[in-house]
Structures are given as structure tokens and as C-alpha cells.
């Protein structure tokens, strides 16, 4: 009897304890593609550190299709579809009411991330997502040509314009008739909103709508920025630039037919491909300032990790987000996929620096990145962005001056806002 007592007592004690409840969480991660090793790494970590299982939900590649799918899921308040999702930096305000308030769960992580990226994810004082990867506009340039013509990398748009004019003429005189000084994204779409944002902010013209929701675009510095950009079309930039998106710009630059290019970090590795005509000849700069008293203002991009407010196990979902926010996880994403990490400490990692020495050049760009006014304008940001890029396009095409465009844009944004941003 004495031998049975401890076992019986142990069984009674075990029965008195609450059983660990195991759930299966769903995370948006495209395991059928290049993301597979990263998804599997996260799954292994999560299932080792919690009693739960992790499954993956395939998402469309196109951002607009992904957003439409999330909106369908949220409209149905579907708690079984996805728990943890990756959202574009400009969707935080748009999806606010469908995203779990993470404030008390992740506020300790704030010092680990680039400040502007973290602030972008705060809606009405509440943290709605944690940065997963960071992106920002940057200026690419031909190191060999600046050296050839004894020029230093430009610090201002005025410097860039002068250098581009000089070297474009010299290269054309030397026989390269299709050479241009500068290419960027000039088509009327979200990419032009990003470019316009950089031009205006670099001249201290503000961010169109400030963090408090006030419309601020109608000012002389913003008008000057747009007029300066318009002066490039047909001079140092081809008129065809008004049909360029990211890949059209990259094709011209990577083919060796442009001195400067505004683009995103993804383009760097492509310019260094073994087949690239400009391999080893490309440098990276912050977006130029608007005059000596201006700012280096790159538009913030990237993706954030958030939790659906309809998740049936929000605590486990938050645990997964914290794993995704760790330095080791974001380092793994970079090593496997080349995705620029959102955590600042990863840029000092020896393995990261060995794999990509150029990444150190990006750090200052990311640190100074300027968020688009998506968080304060919330669900109305798509209309705001359309108004932004249409105003920019009107100035580039000569349909309006900068002064006319910012005045008209102020009226449009105030009409979109109404009494308040919704």
C-alpha cells in the first residue's frame, strides 16, 4: 500500500492542475515559395516554446490582393482564418479596428527598432503592430562616373541637378546618346506618392497631413519641391519617366543608361548580379536634402507583424509576434531572403555585415525614414495617396505649377477628411 500511495497522490495532484490548452495558430507566410525556410524556422521556434501548433496561410503576392483578402476576412470576423499577419506599413491606420491592441504586450520592445518605424504603428496612442522588415527610398549612383568627372556624391537636390546635367552632357558627347542624369518613379501610382513625399519633406514642406491629422501641404516649401522635380522632366530625366515604376527605373539604371536612380533597397543586390553591366560600380546615398537647410527624407516602407482582433488565442499569437520581433528571427529573414531587418541591433551583427557590407550604408537611411500620412488618415489613406500622386503628376506633366497643385491638394484633402479622418 505504501508503494501505491505516492503514485496515487501524484495522480491526484496532476488532476488538480489545469491542463495546458493546445491550439493551432495560423500565420500568413508563403511556405510554397522562397519564404519556406523562414516559415519553418519560425514554426520550429514557436512549437518548441509553446504547447501550440503553427500552420501557414498562403497570401497573394500582390499587395492590393493581399489587402483585399484581409478585408474579406475581417468583414466576416473570421477567427479561424488567420491569427498573425504581415501588413504593409501603410495599412496600420486602415486596419486599425481589426488589429489587436498590443500596447501592454510589446511596449518594452520599442528601443530595439527605428523610431519612425515604431511610431508609424501607433494609432490613437495604442500599438497595433511590431516592425518586421524595413524599407525606405534611397538614391543610387554610379561611383565610377562621379570619379571619372571628379565629382563628389550630392548632398542636395541642387547638387544632384548640377552633377546630372554635367555628366549627362559629357556622356552623350562621348557617344552614349541615350544616357540620362536621373531616373525615378513618375507614373501616377503609389510609387509616385512616395517620391513626392520625399521631395516635399526634403524641402521642409511637411508630410501633407501631420500626425495630429491636420492638412499641412499648402506651403511655399512644398510648392518649391514640386517645381524643382518638374524641372528634371525632359532635361536630366526622360519624359518617359512619367510612365516609370520601380522596375522601369531599375532597367535603365542597371543597363548603364543613367547616373542617378531613386529606388528601394531591393534593387541593390540586382545591380550587383553577375550579369549586371553596372556590377561593382554602384553606390548608395540618402535622399538629397532640399537645399542646405533641408532634410534627408526617405519615404518609409516595409512590413509589420500584427494580430487579428478575432484571434481565438490572442496570448499565443502575441507570443508568436514576439518571436518574429527577435533579433535572431529578423537576422534569419535577412540571411535567407535578403529582407532588411527592422531591428537596429542586427546591423551590427558580424554575420550580417559579412554577408552584406552595403547594409551599413542603409542604416542611416532607415533611421531617418519619413512615414506616409497613412496612420492619421486611417481608412481614407487610399484616397489621400491618390490625391498626392495625381497632384505630383500634374506638376511633372506641366498641367499645374507647384503653387497651384498644393492649393488644390489642400482643398481635396480637406474634403476627403470632412469633420475628421475615419
Supply the pTM of this predicted model.
Answer: 0.86
Note whether 23-135+301-367 and 138-299+372-417 share their fold.
yes
CATH class of 23-135+301-367: alpha beta
Task: Tell me the domain boundaries of the chain.
Answer: 23-135+301-367, 138-299+372-417
Phi–psi pair at 322, nearest 5 degrees? -65, -35
The SS3 of residue 132 is: strand
> 183-194, pLDDT tens digit by residue?
999 999 999 999
Mean pLDDT along residues 27-34: 91
Among 65, 29, 236, which Cα is nearest to 141's? 236
Per the structure block, which three cell numbers stand in for 388?
Answer: 498626392
pLDDT of residue 147: 98
- 367-383 pLDDT, tens digit per residue, is 889 999 999 999 999 99
Backbone angles phi, psi at 100, to 5 degrees: -60, 140
CA distances from 164 to 172, 225, 279, 287, 407 (A): 12, 18, 20, 15, 31
Q: Is 366 helix (H, G, I), strand (E, B) or coil?
A: helix
**CATH tag, 138-299+372-417:** 3.40.190.10
What does the pLDDT average to over 225-240? 98
**pLDDT per position as a tens digit, 94-113:** 999 999 999 999 999 999 99
Amino acid at each position: 500500500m505504501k508503494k501505491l500511495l505516492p503514485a496515487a497522490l501524484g495522480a491526484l495532484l496532476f488532476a488538480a492542475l489545469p491542463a495546458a490548452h493546445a491550439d493551432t495558430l495560423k500565420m500568413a507566410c508563403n511556405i510554397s515559395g522562397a519564404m519556406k525556410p523562414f516559415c519553418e524556422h519560425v514554426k520550429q521556434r514557436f512549437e518548441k516554446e509553446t504547447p501550440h501548433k503553427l500552420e501557414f496561410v498562403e497570401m497573394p503576392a500582390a499587395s492590393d490582393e493581399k489587402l483585399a483578402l484581409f478585408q474579406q476576412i475581417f468583414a466576416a470576423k473570421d477567427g479561424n482564418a488567420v491569427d498573425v499577419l504581415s501588413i504593409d506599413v501603410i495599412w496600420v491606420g486602415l486596419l486599425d479596428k481589426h488589429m489587436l491592441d498590443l500596447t501592454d504586450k510589446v511596449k518594452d520592445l520599442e528601443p530595439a527598432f527605428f523610431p519612425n518605424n515604431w511610431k508609424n504603428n501607433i494609432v490613437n496612442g495604442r500599438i497595433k503592430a511590431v516592425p518586421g522588415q524595413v524599407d525606405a527610398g534611397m538614391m543610387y549612383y554610379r561611383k565610377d562616373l562621379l570619379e571619372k568627372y571628379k565629382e563628389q556624391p550630392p548632398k542636395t537636390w541642387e547638387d544632384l541637378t548640377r552633377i546630372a546635367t554635367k555628366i549627362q552632357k559629357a556622356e552623350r558627347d562621348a557617344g552614349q546618346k541615350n544616357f540620362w542624369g536621373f531616373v525615378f518613379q513618375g507614373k501616377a501610382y503609389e510609387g509616385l506618392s512616395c517620391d513626392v513625399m520625399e521631395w516635399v519633406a526634403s524641402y521642409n514642406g511637411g508630410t501633407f497631413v501631420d500626425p495630429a491629422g491636420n492638412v499641412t501641404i499648402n506651403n511655399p516649401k512644398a510648392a518649391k519641391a514640386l517645381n524643382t522635380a518638374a524641372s528634371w522632366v525632359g532635361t536630366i530625366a526622360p519624359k518617359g519617366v512619367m510612365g516609370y515604376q520601380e522596375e522601369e527605373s531599375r532597367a535603365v539604371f542597371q543597363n548603364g543608361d543613367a547616373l542617378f536612380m531613386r529606388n528601394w533597397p531591393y534593387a541593390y543586390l540586382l545591380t550587383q548580379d553577375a550579369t549586371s553591366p553596372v556590377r561593382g560600380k554602384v553606390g548608395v546615398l540618402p535622399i538629397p536634402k532640399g537645399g542646405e537647410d533641408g532634410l534627408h527624407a526617405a519615404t518609409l516602407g516595409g512590413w509589420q507583424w500584427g494580430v487579428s482582433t478575432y484571434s481565438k488565442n490572442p496570448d499565443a499569437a502575441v507570443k508568436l509576434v514576439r518571436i518574429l520581433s527577435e533579433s535572431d528571427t529578423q537576422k534569419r529573414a535577412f540571411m535567407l531572403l535578403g529582407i532588411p531587418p527592422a531591428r537596429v541591433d542586427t546591423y551590427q551583427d558580424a554575420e550580417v555585415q559579412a554577408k552584406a557590407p552595403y547594409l551599413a550604408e542603409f542604416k542611416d537611411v532607415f533611421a531617418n525614414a519619413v512615414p506616409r500620412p497613412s496612420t492619421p488618415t486611417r481608412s481614407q489613406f487610399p484616397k489621400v495617396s491618390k490625391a498626392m500622386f495625381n497632384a505630383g503628376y500634374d506638376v511633372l506633366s506641366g498641367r499645374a505649377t507647384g503653387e497651384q497643385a498644393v492649393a488644390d491638394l489642400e482643398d481635396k484633402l480637406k474634403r476627403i477628411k470632412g469633420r475628421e479622418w475615419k
